[in-house]
Structure 1
Amino acid sequence: MDVLVLIGRILFSALFLGSAFAHLTQTKAMAAYASSRGVPAPVPAVLGSAVLLLAGGVSVLLGLWADLGALLLAVFLVPTAVLMHGFWKETDPQARQVEMVQFQKDMALAGAALMLLGFIAHAGGDLGLTVTGPLFDLE
């Protein structure tokens, strides 16, 4: 089971690490998009989200307090879904559908991150192939 969890952590964190890289290398463009969606202080918001993505992604990938990393990713995903993908604000049916899919994707990933947090925190030291055990104890 340890290998399956490691493969899952690699696949899960790859999305967030790629996004963190984009936030850091395309800050201006992402801030412009965030501004167009009504996000206040878009440059600090993009840089702050990059920190959450990077810290959470690396934490989950390496198994370095991976439960905390999963929590950081959920903290990124829920506000992002609401602020960036407000499908309920769209009047164009095609734009509404695109934003709804993105909203649902972010919420599903947030759910997966919370399940990962619970799984890792509950498994404790029994989960192998990690740098550290969990930070939280949910036994």
Structure 2
Amino acid sequence: MEWVVLVGRVLFVLLFFGSGLGHLTQTQAMAGYAGSKGVPAPRASVLGSGVLIVVGGLMVLLGIWADLGALLLVVFLLPTAFLMHNFWSVTDPQGRQMEQTQFLKDLSLAGAALALFAFFATTPDLGLTITGPLLDGWFE
């Protein structure tokens, strides 16, 4: 079963690595878009969120305090859903549908990351990890 968990971790973080790379290499364009959405300090926000998702993704992938890594991804996903994909304020039907899909994707991924956090924090032997959970026993 430890191989199944490893494959699941690999598949789960692929999206975050692609997105994080975009945050760190296309900062100016992404900051412009974030600024148009009303995100404060857009350049710093884009760089900070890029680092956050790359670090969180690496922690989940490698199993280095994977519970904390999963929480870092939740910290990225929830604000992103509401700040960047506020479909309720879009009047164009096609744009509204696109933003709603992205909003729901971010919420779904946040739910999955939260479930992974609970799994990592409460499973004593995850196998194929570098460390055990950092927050083991904090939420019992």
Structure 2: where are the runs of 5+ without partners? none
> Paired residue for 1:127?
126
Shift of residue 95, structure 1, vs aligned partner: 0.8
Match of 1:4 in 2: 4
> Residue 83 of structure 1: SS of its match in structure 2?
helix
Question: Where in structure 1 do 4 or more consecutive aligned residues deviate above 2 Å?
Answer: none
Q: TM-score, normalised by structure 1?
A: 0.97
Alignment length, in residue pairs? 138
**TM-score of the pair, normalised by structure 2:** 0.96
- What is the CA-CA distance between 1:108 and the residue it aligns to? 0.1
The gaps in structure 1 that reach 5 residues or longer are none
- What is the aligned-residue identity percentage? 65
Aligned-residue offset at 1:17: 1.1
Post-superposition Cα deviations, 1:90-139, rounded to whole Å, max 9, x if no partner, equal 11111111100000000000000000000011102x11000000011245
CA distance in 2: counterparts of 1:49 and 1:93, whole angstroms: 29
Q: In structure 1, how many angstroms separate the alpha carbons of the residues matched to 2:41 and 2:24?
A: 16
2:63 and 2:136 map into 1 onto residues whose CA distance is 15
More displaced 10-residue stretch of structure 1: 36-45 or 102-111:
36-45
Equivalent residue for 2:118? Answer: 118
Report the equivalent of 2:82: 82
Distance (Å, rounded) in 1 between the aligned partners of 2:89 and 2:118: 33
Query: Residue 35 of structure 2 corresponds to which residue in structure 1?
Result: 35
C-alpha distance in 2 between matches for 1:114 and 1:40: 26
